[in-house]
Structure 1
Amino acid sequence: MKTGHFRFSCITLALTSLQGQAAAMPAAHFDEPVMTVTAPLSSPLEVSSSPKTPRQPVPASDGSDYLKTMPGFAQIRNGGTNGDPVFRGMFGSRLRILTNGGEMPGACPARMDAPTSYISPESFDTLSLIKGPQTVLWGPGNSAGTVRFDREPPQFSQPGMQGDASLLHASHHRWDENADLSVGSADGYLRVIGNHSRAGDYRDGSGAVVPSRWNKWNADVALGLTPDADTLWEVTAGRGNGDARYAGRSMDGSQFKRDSLGLRYKQSDIGEVFNAVEAQIYYNYANHIMDNYSLRSPGSGAMPMPMGEMGGMPGMDGMDGMDGMDAGMDMDMSQPMAMQLDRRTVGGRAQGTWQWHALTLKSGMDAQTSTHRNREQAGWKKDARFHDVGLFSELTWHASARSDLIGGARLDRAWVDNFTGDGERARVTALPAGFLRLEHRLASQPVMFYAGLGYTERFPDYWELFSPTSGADGHSSAFDTVKTEKTTQLDIGAQYRGKRASGWISAWLGRIDDFILFDYDPHNRYISRVSNVDATTLGAEAGVGYQLTDNWSTDASLAFTRGENRSSHRPLPQIPPLEGRLALNWQSGDWSSSGLLRLVNGQHRIALNEGNVVGKDFAESHAFAVFSANVAWRVAPSVKLSSGVDNLFNRTYSEHLNMAGNSVFGYSANTPVNEPGRTWWAKVNVTF
């Protein structure tokens, strides 16, 4: 079977119904949801859900597409797929993305292949989000939060087979096939996962074609040994590839090749004090090609562009390896061009768990090495290599039946080798982090609240050190001048779960010293500088739900973010606007239906020509409202059928976080890329 063009004989039909804040609804009010609009919450601080449960809008094509349905998340859009996730206005390595405990940083200098672009959500069992710097277990510098996509080992009490499969069809020639099959017994298992997703260019609400087509596939296999109920040995391997064209870039991704290997060991119930141990190693390799001819014609609309250091240009892709070229040279983008880059990441972690009467301690270490290269005529050339070694401990004290005190600390040694220029250079630094949080549940009311204070330091990532044209002065290199980022943040929240009503709120106030900021030349959008400023961020996410009758329920969520550049007394750039969601849900027996109204305010607090390596603020944005609906039928206990429509009234709108459209496709300067117009979809899901 050719992996990139397979279809599944077992097809499922699952409908993405859109329950509005299912997170806020007590689990007892519903059976297993046919679909959700936002993620269920285990607490206001930590979100946990199953990516296999479909969501509205139409099921996600990648990890970022899935995350954007959760309160507080936004996405830097550039077409149909491979957008970049933003949480609470924070972008890039401030939000750590992990798959099965490993990291897959992309290779493109302008993040055409963001880490989430290699994730097919439906192939994972659990999605976890920990907001803010409120954990130290999963690597350094996670100031915005930590996102984990994980696969759980299948459980077999006797020999057999289990799994699920699905088929989706939607407007704009969208087809998705997914299959997840396991065979095994109490002694072990073999799990095979495959998916294929493809779509054509979509049309916006005005009927204009937006270049956005993609074609992706992934295949993964896991072999696990479970000699007893408390022991797991598992080896994994995976491969994927695809292509995507972008309305908001001057080049497309003609290859997103992925290779992954992993080995993990878990042992639980070891003893009364030393209770559990887990360890893993992983290997992730990304091989990326971008060009301007495989998925488009270079076209007469392309203009000669500066040839100098072009890393970090919104709408253009970073041209790594051109740092030594004369900035006065011109590059005619109407001529065929291509670049190939790769990144090899190897890492691992080990963690032990100790338990006493009222104390639980998790402690261990992790390490990672990540090497970036670009391919030139003479062959592959290494330009950067990142290293990190960290020690961490997290202690939970069950102070009483209703109160827990959780604290943690970690210390990392991070360094990077720079192979560009005349000789090798290095930067080395120590990164401390820690937090302390109180969680309390009231005795007389179903109410829980928490308050936590966290601190973390973040080492500049590849895109901040190597993609900008220069440092803040316009002459020195970013590698030599950009500082580590220091975040101190207060997180508070509360949750109420009653018989008919429920609600939650999660809020934060952060002080960021040496915030890393991109500044783009207003006269030449291909010149970028990076500097450190002091910043403040604050905001909240909230949700409420109410069971109106046995069949009807309603829920709503709201997300607000505000960022301030304290150094210049201006707004921080790339901050998403206020967003609210209102949902009305109906369920009776095997049938359910939902309607979702998404309301997004305009964003008028912008920092013109400032941003990050992917996007910049180029204009204020307008408010919009979009209505979507769905209906679902559980045909049998193992078969679901669903169908829906997104953007029912065919509104023409664009998101604030947006890459300006590329002139080759007829966009004028600073024109945002519009979102899809009315989109119909249907999905079938089978579980066995």
Structure 2
Amino acid sequence: MYFSSRMPGVPACLSACVCLALFPQLARADDRQATQTLDTLVVTAAAPSSPLHWVTDPRLPRQPVPASDGADYLKTVPGFAAIRNGGTNGDPVLRGMSGSRLNILSNDGNLIGACPSRMDNPLSYIAPETYDRLTIIKGPQSVRWGAGASAGTVRFERDTPRFTAPGMELQASALTGSNNRNDQMLDASFGSTPGYVRINGNRSESDDYRDGNGDVVPSRWRKWNADAAIGWTPDADTVLELSAGTGNALARYGGRGMDGAAFERSSYGLRFEKDNLPGAWDKLQANLYYNNADHVMDNYTLRTPNPDSSMPMPMASNVERRTTGGRVSSEWRWQDVAIVAGIDAQDSRHRSRNGMGRGTYKQTPWTRDAEFHSHGVFTELTVGEGTAQRWISGLRIDTAEVKDLRQRVGMMNMPNPTAGKTRQEQLGSGFLRYERDHGQAWTWYAGLGHSERMPDYWELFSADTGPAGSVNAFAGVKPETTTQLDLGLQFRSQELDAWVSAYAGRLQDYILFNYRSGGMMGSSTQASNVDARIAGAEAGLEWRPVQGWKLGSTLAYAWGENRDESRPLPQIPPLEGRFSAAYERERWSAGALLRVVAQQSRVSPGQGNVVAQDLGPTAGFATFALNASYRINRSVRASAGVDNLFDRTYAEHLNLAGNADFGFPADPVRINEPGRSFWLKLDYRY
């Protein structure tokens, strides 16, 4: 299969604009902009910016090779992992929790994937480098960003450009690497005092990679995104913005029976913000969004149908998820007391169509199978804001409603016993956290959070059967309840930064998938509820013994137990440590990263989630990587790296089994990760 460097729908000038932008003589940066480009750090791990909050710049050079999707970037944050299936679009996991336990937002809107097995999970539509900021909240320690975020909240955000005089801002990057990896990104803003126009876009592609044994792993992809926004800023405290975006992709998966032949995205948004309102009223925010994911899966665009498989003929499935919603919130402040309160709502519709033969699905009528509606109210209170002692609390109440529109279900096309029926649940969430500073160096915190989560589309509609005694998963799967204690300690000084966070939680009616008939493909699944316990910790430090040197390390450990069956909870990542060393000068830096992953023997074969199941124990492994960065001038920075320097052959624990279409054996075999890989990236800022 040949991948061209052009893709329909990508502006022809995008690659040329990026290349031209990399020549420094085309523009000069002022002193303020120069200070923003002095950071030569290649990110290997992220540290918390405040208790349970991680804030980072997703544009910074990163090792391993800069991310192709949102899940890949999240792996630099301790506690995150991804369910791997080849080159791109892994499914994110935080502390062993996946799916809608993670609330993922881009520009404060939800874009929910449509594939019944999450081939197009929400982060597969996100290009991290096109955003200005990534904010992560671990645990059920916030209620303002939506319901059900029991594992945490992930927000990809874009800043508001502001101009005091006519001008422009420009950022661009280009990357090349092993396996014909090549990426381009362009972000330009133009404006003056009354407002601005911002456009950004990216494209990324890679061929199949080779593992440490030199074997080809089906993993190629090609994707692009383009977004535009126009904003009105009549003063420094007001913004009204209208935005629109689109994108598409192809992705081949070594661990699935079909590939992603289309990931078409359509997004629209409208937001209003007003700061410094009269009296104690500090801020008003409102936004509306429309996101549509139109996803095509087939077994013929990126592979040849396997006559010995369960799909011997060309087949395709087209699924679509349209999500609309919005929120309004206000903030008030009285000295050291702050309150935020608001409402939000979301509607989502899912439909599908299928076809035998190449392209025949396009002549098949759409069938709507599910509708989701939810609305909620929330408030968060901070007492002691800006002081050494802070109490932060939050409360949220939601109404969630799901309607089953399927008339027939299953391989035998049997009548659906819940056709036309509606489920409605009242859900409550809340938290209470205490934070205490001791001088300028020490901060500790303790928080108790509670979250009630409505079963999502995959848990209600993808499973073949529901809990014992129920007619199906839609009727039988209960909402999931998480109660979790979070503890942590942070230390900051001129020479040393250190932090540790620990958690322990109880999950009532945890939604578990049981796989039957052996293997991921052709198997049946049952969704059921069990009581579970989770616990774990993350820790990190950065030591600066002398000027220019940085030594760092992070550790992440997660544990889970299925209490009903007295066995480990499945899909829990193993203990992982990262150890880094870097030397930085005014214009250049060099560094090394050692990643060590322990064996995982606490497994539950045949159990998992809608994406994957435990395949058995895994051995530990270690990889070593090198990186360097050089600031050519005030505008241009070059960074380079080599990943898996010693060409090790290894596979991640959270993984899909290799598919027989590509010659993998019938017994489950995990997909190996890339062997030795090189990359070079240029960044430009004006």
Q: Is the 8 A contact 2:268 2:290 kept in 1?
A: yes
Which of 35, 53, 76 lines up with 2:83 in the alignment? Answer: 76
1:268 Cα offset (Å): 0.6
Q: Does 2:633 correspond to 1:627? A: no
Instruction: Kindly provide the amino acid, as one letter, of the partner of residue 351 in structure 1.
Output: S
CA–CA distance in 1 between the matches of 2:386 and 2:341?
A: 23
Which of 573, 576, 580 lines up with 2:577 in the alignment? Answer: 580
Q: Is the 8 A contact 2:392 2:434 kept in 1?
A: yes
Give 1:388-427 correspondences, 5 Å limit: 388-398=374-384, 401-421=387-407, 423-427=419-423
CA–CA distance in 2 between the matches of 1:34 and 1:197?
A: 23
Instruction: Kindly provide the amino acid, as one letter, of the partner of residue 465 in structure 2.
Output: S
1:378 Cα offset (Å): 4.7
Q: Does 2:441 correspond to 1:446? A: yes
Q: Give secondary structure in 2 for the equivalent of 1:298.
A: coil
TM-score in terms of structure 1 length: 0.92
Q: Aligned residue for 1:384? A: 370
CA–CA distance in 1 between the matches of 2:159 and 2:586?
A: 30
1:589 Cα offset (Å): 1.9
CA–CA distance in 1 between the matches of 2:610 and 2:386?
A: 47
CA–CA distance in 2 between the matches of 1:8 and 1:166?
A: 12
Q: Give secondary structure in 2 for the equivalent of 1:514.
A: strand
Q: Is the 8 A contact 2:336 2:387 kept in 1?
A: no
Q: Is the 8 A contact 1:13 1:640 kept in 2?
A: no
Q: Aligned residue for 2:216? A: 209
1:225 Cα offset (Å): 0.4
Give 1:263-342 correspondences, 5 Å limit: 263-300=270-307, 302-304=308-310, 333-342=311-320
Give 1:280-679 correspondences, 5 Å limit: 280-300=287-307, 302-304=308-310, 333-376=311-354, 378-398=364-384, 401-421=387-407, 423-443=419-439, 446-473=441-468, 476-523=471-518, 525=520, 526-668=523-665, 669-679=667-677
Q: Is the 8 A contact 2:134 2:155 kept in 1?
A: yes
Q: Is the 8 A contact 1:41 1:49 kept in 2?
A: no
Q: Give secondary structure in 1 for the equivalent of 2:329.
A: strand
1:524 Cα offset (Å): 6.3
Give 1:44-55 correspondences, 5 Å limit: 44-55=51-62
1:3 Cα offset (Å): 3.7
Superposed CA deviations along residues 581-621 of structure 1, whole A, max 9, x for unmatched, are 00010111201011000000011000110000000001111
Superposed CA deviations along residues 314-353 of structure 1, whole A, max 9, x for unmatched, are xxxxxxxxxxxxxxxxxxx121110101010000000011
Q: Aligned residue for 1:330? A: none
Instruction: Kindly provide the amino acid, as one letter, of the partner of residue 9 in structure 1.
Output: C
CA–CA distance in 2 between the matches of 1:341 and 1:596?
A: 41
Change (3 A) 1:399 1:650: closer
1:54 Cα offset (Å): 1.9
Q: Give secondary structure in 2 for the equivalent of 1:575.
A: coil
Q: Is the 8 A contact 2:162 2:233 kept in 1?
A: no
Q: Give secondary structure in 1 for the equivalent of 2:529.
A: strand
Q: Is the 8 A contact 1:521 1:527 kept in 2?
A: yes
Q: Aligned residue for 1:56? A: 63
Unaligned runs of 5+ in 2: 1-5, 24-34, 355-362, 408-415
CA–CA distance in 2 between the matches of 1:31 and 1:160?
A: 22
Query: Percent identity, aligned pairs only?
Result: 49
Q: Give secondary structure in 1 for the equivalent of 2:459.
A: helix
Change (3 A) 1:372 1:175: same
CA–CA distance in 1 between the matches of 2:146 and 2:604?
A: 31
Q: Give secondary structure in 1 for the equivalent of 2:460.
A: helix
Which of 4, 9, 21 lines up with 2:17 in the alignment? Answer: 9
1:7 Cα offset (Å): 1.1
Q: Aligned residue for 1:324? A: none
Q: Aligned residue for 1:23? A: none
CA–CA distance in 2 between the matches of 1:8 and 1:130?
A: 38
Instruction: Kindly provide the amino acid, as one letter, of the partner of residue 128 in structure 1.
Output: T
Change (3 A) 1:399 1:630: closer
1:117 Cα offset (Å): 0.1
Q: Aligned residue for 1:232? A: 239
1:40 Cα offset (Å): 3.9
CA–CA distance in 1 between the matches of 2:604 and 2:518?
A: 16
Q: Aligned residue for 1:36? A: 43
Q: Is the 8 A contact 1:13 1:683 kept in 2?
A: no
Instruction: Kindly provide the amino acid, as one letter, of the partner of residue 554 in structure 1.
Output: L
Answer with 470-479 or 537-546: which moved more: 470-479
Change (3 A) 1:124 1:660: same
CA–CA distance in 2 between the matches of 1:503 and 1:433?
A: 31
Superposed CA deviations along residues 9-64 of structure 1, whole A, max 9, x for unmatched, are 234779xxxxxxxxxxxxx9x95243211224212410001111121000000001
Give 1:190-205 correspondences, 5 Å limit: 190-205=197-212
CA–CA distance in 2 between the matches of 1:43 and 1:347?
A: 29
Instruction: Kindly provide the amino acid, as one letter, of the partner of residue 676 in structure 1.
Output: P
Q: Give secondary structure in 2 for the equivalent of 1:9.
A: helix
1:276 Cα offset (Å): 1.1
Q: Is the 8 A contact 2:61 2:639 kept in 1?
A: no
CA–CA distance in 1 between the matches of 2:213 and 2:452?
A: 46
Instruction: Kindly provide the amino acid, as one letter, of the partner of residue 588 in structure 1.
Output: R
Q: Give secondary structure in 2 for the equivalent of 1:102.
A: coil
CA–CA distance in 2 between the matches of 1:427 and 1:399?
A: 41
Which of 104, 107, 111 lines up with 2:114 in the alignment? Answer: 107
CA–CA distance in 2 between the matches of 1:67 and 1:240?
A: 21
Instruction: Kindly provide the amino acid, as one letter, of the partner of residue 457 in structure 1.
Output: E
TM-score in terms of structure 2 length: 0.92
Instruction: Kindly provide the amino acid, as one letter, of the partner of residue 442 in structure 1.
Output: H
Q: Give secondary structure in 1 for the equivalent of 2:15.
A: coil
Answer with 522-531 or 163-172: which moved more: 522-531
CA–CA distance in 2 between the matches of 1:246 and 1:433?
A: 37
Instruction: Kindly provide the amino acid, as one letter, of the partner of residue 207 in structure 1.
Output: G
1:167 Cα offset (Å): 0.5
Answer with 396-405 or 60-69: which moved more: 396-405
Give 1:114-129 correspondences, 5 Å limit: 114-129=121-136
Q: Aligned residue for 1:307? A: none
CA–CA distance in 2 between the matches of 1:683 and 1:357?
A: 47
Displaced runs of 4+ in structure 1, greater than 6 A?
none
Q: Is the 8 A contact 1:522 1:609 kept in 2?
A: no
CA–CA distance in 2 between the matches of 1:545 and 1:494?
A: 15
**Count of paired positions:** 644
Q: Give secondary structure in 1 for the equivalent of 2:322.
A: strand
Change (3 A) 1:127 1:399: closer
CA–CA distance in 2 between the matches of 1:556 and 1:13?
A: 34
Q: Is the 8 A contact 1:8 1:177 kept in 2?
A: no
CA–CA distance in 2 between the matches of 1:399 and 1:552?
A: 35
Q: Aligned residue for 2:357? A: none
Q: Is the 8 A contact 2:40 2:629 kept in 1?
A: no
Q: Give secondary structure in 2 for the equivalent of 1:366.
A: strand
Q: Is the 8 A contact 2:350 2:368 kept in 1?
A: yes
Instruction: Kindly provide the amino acid, as one letter, of the partner of residue 250 in structure 1.
Output: G
CA–CA distance in 2 between the matches of 1:31 and 1:44?
A: 27
CA–CA distance in 2 between the matches of 1:165 and 1:604?
A: 45
